[in-house]
Structure 1
Amino acid sequence: MEIDDLIDALIEREGGYANHPSDRGGPTKYGITEAVARAHGYAGAMRDLPRDEAAAIYKRLYWLRPRFDQVAKRSGAVAAELFDTGANMGPAVAATFLQRALSALNRDRKDYADLVPDGRIGAATLAALDTFLQLRGKTTGESVLLRALDALQGERYIRLAERRPANEAFLYGWLANRIG
């Protein structure tokens, strides 16, 4: 899948304008929070955020900046998962999930060194991903890695709901629409 297709699917899932009282992000449109829109230079009312502006924000802040485009050169499916998770939880959280999963799957450092879970995709993370996919096979390795990413994501959603009961309003949708 190309990034424009991923963005289109994400915007479709996120829907239009929302301002749920339990959402700490405040007013959103297409899943873009007001704070993110303002940081990107958008000054208008959130109800009026243009779709192409939201798409530009997603591409710049949630695809290129976290270097998920570099992951896509190795695995489109893993990059798509990171993009979706990053749009919902923040790109650094998604990158940390990848680093944690790769470290846990390195067979006690026999395949490659443990990664520092710093939330930044760099040379070490990309090299570990390359080695993992080479040793475990693109199809099977990718499938297992996606399951690990989903497990980390699901655990975080449940923890968010446990720590802040107002998040229970979102838990069902997160699990239904973001996992797997």
Structure 2
Amino acid sequence: MGIDELIDEVIEREGGYIDHPADTGGATRWGITQATARAQGYLGDMRTLPREEATAIYRRLYWLRPGFDRVAARAPDLAAELFDTGVNMGPATATGFLQRALNALNRGQRDYPDLSVDSRIGPVTIAALDAFLATRGQAGEAVLVKAADALQGERYLALAERRPANEAFLYGWLANRIG
């Protein structure tokens, strides 16, 4: 699935205008928060944020800037998972999940050195991903997706435990964002 289809899925899942009182992100449209829209130059009412503007923001901030397009060239299912996680938790969090998983799966640094979990996809992270995939093959990509899902699920539970108002979202997060 390409980035256009991934963005369409996110927009369909996120829906139109929402301003849930328990959501610390505030008003959103198409899943784009007002703060993000403003930072990207949109000054209009969030109720009328054009879908095309949301699509451009997703592509720019949640696909190209974090480097998920480079992951997609090697592991498209993993890139799709990172994109979706990045939309919900931030691209740096998604990238950190990948780096942590790569570190835990490098067999005591026999396959490649541990990464600094800096939440950036640079040449060292790409080299580690390449080495992992060369060693583990196609099945390795599915394992990385499962590891990212596990870390994401744990974070959702922790968010609900730390802030009871997040319990309003936990069921949907687990049902719609994991797996």
Q: TM-score range by the shorter chain?
A: over 0.9
| Cα deviation, residue 118, structure 1 | 0.8
| Cα deviation, residue 78, structure 1 | 0.4
> Are 1:92 and 2:53 matched, yes or no?
no
Cα distance between partner residues in 2 of 1:65 and 1:142? 22
Q: Residue 176 of structure 1 corresponds to which residue in structure 2?
A: 175
The normalised TM-score by structure 1 is 0.99
Alignment coverage as a number of residue pairs: 179
Cα distance between partner residues in 1 of 2:6 and 2:67? 15
Cα distance between partner residues in 2 of 1:118 and 1:29? 30
| Cα deviation, residue 143, structure 1 | 1.1
* Structure 2: tracts of 5 or more residues without a match: none
| Cα deviation, residue 155, structure 1 | 0.2
Cα distance between partner residues in 1 of 2:176 and 2:169? 11
| Cα deviation, residue 115, structure 1 | 0.7
Q: Residue 51 of structure 2 corresponds to which residue in structure 1?
A: 51
Cα distance between partner residues in 2 of 1:151 and 1:69? 22
| Cα deviation, residue 2, structure 1 | 1.0
The normalised TM-score by structure 2 is 0.99
* Structure 1: tracts of 5 or more residues without a match: none
Aligned amino acid, residue 162 of structure 2: R
| Cα deviation, residue 120, structure 1 | 0.4
Cα distance between partner residues in 1 of 2:161 and 2:35? 25
Q: Residue 133 of structure 2 corresponds to which residue in structure 1?
A: 133
RMSD, aligned α-carbons: 0.5
Deviations 1:76-109 (A, max 9, x none): 0000000000000000000000000000000010
Q: Residue 146 of structure 2 corresponds to which residue in structure 1?
A: 147
| Cα deviation, residue 164, structure 1 | 0.3
Does the residue aligned with 2:108 lie in a helix, a strand or coil?
coil
Q: Residue 19 of structure 2 corresponds to which residue in structure 1?
A: 19
| Cα deviation, residue 65, structure 1 | 0.3
Cα distance between partner residues in 2 of 1:2 and 1:143? 17
Q: Residue 28 of structure 2 corresponds to which residue in structure 1?
A: 28
Percent sequence identity over matched residues?
A: 70
